[in-house]
Structure 1
Amino acid sequence: MMKYFHSWSGGKDSTAAIILDHIHGLPPSRIVFCEVMYDRKNGISGELPEHIDFVKNVAIPKFAEWGFTVDLITAETDYLENFFHVISKSRNGNNGKMRGFPLSGRCTIQRDCKLKPIGDYYKRLGQKPADFTQYVGVAIDEPERLERLRGTNKVSLLERYGYTEKMALELCKEYGLLSPIYQYTSRGAAGSARISVFPKWPI
């Protein structure tokens, strides 16, 4: 039997997909949220404080009220470990150096702290891509992103029901499920995680 999962970031598009699932009474699905940690040892989230508060204290209770199960997962690594990781397999002569700040287009934080734990989550459940459908938040006015979904197990409910990014935002507002980060940013994702507290070392 096909199983359904929402890959949820707390952003407007993936949240709107869950709302649409609820509105249209689709087959039962689970919601997966991966919290990127800044410092696991001391329990410091890498998510913006107001965003993770929204996720845990506003959205998750509402989704539970609607009958969804929400699985909150984290990676076994964090931002600090990634930052201070000493390179040992470099092809560019960087062995012995710290990895440092993540690079645009080659973000090891996204890879190690978000994508890997999500992949591990499905493996623990014994799920192969052919066995489940992954709902993702991609709007109809994002044609390039939609095209990348073709031939995969990922489905956009925003595309199915004809929602643009603006419509998704308004839907979240209507249901009281718009993250406060949209007061000062147009997009919520791993890249929106806190950057105000960086590692400090003696100079």
Structure 2
Amino acid sequence: MTAIFVSVVGVLGTVMGAALTAFVAARTEQRRERSQDRVQLNDLRVEHQRWRRERRQAAYLSFLEALGTADRDNQAFFRELRAERAPVPLDETRIAAIRLKFKDAESAGLVVTLEGPQAVAEAAQNLVDQLSSLVQDVREYAEAVAANSLGNGGDNVHEAGMGFIAERKAFLGLARDVLDDVAKHVQMLPETQLRD
């Protein structure tokens, strides 16, 4: 009887040991799976933020290039008008070309608005508005040169140009902050959580 009792206790001990080992192994496997899920989620988050940053950067760069092209042509036209000593006929073709480049910049600004965030979208719209004012002031100056009636001598153009420069600096600062801010949105998991 004692031998049977010892055998039963031995079998129960073995069964309980196996059950306990299986339980511990299952918990360890669950922890490992949760840890892998967290790592994969974090990797996905990082990749999404990287993708978002690249799209924004491309949109911002395209916008600034389009603005620069329109602004350079507008400035060149204004300088040519200021260099003239006699009235010159209004160059509608040149004005239309500048206006077309402005429209390209405006379209690139819409992409910036889509990519966001809101603060950068607003700064982009302010920059487009300022360039529109600058283009309009140069057109009015060209009309005044053609009519030989230079009232303010281009002061409005200068003021609009300074406003454009200020808005461009504001946009650049916001865009740079947004592009640098990606790291704040990506939450890196602490090493202890990754090991669990």
Per the TM superposition, whether the score is higher than 0.5 is: no
Give the structure with the higher percent strand: 1
TM superposition score normalised by structure 2: 0.28
- Bigger Rg, which one: 2
TM superposition score normalised by structure 1: 0.27
Give the structure with the higher percent helix: 2
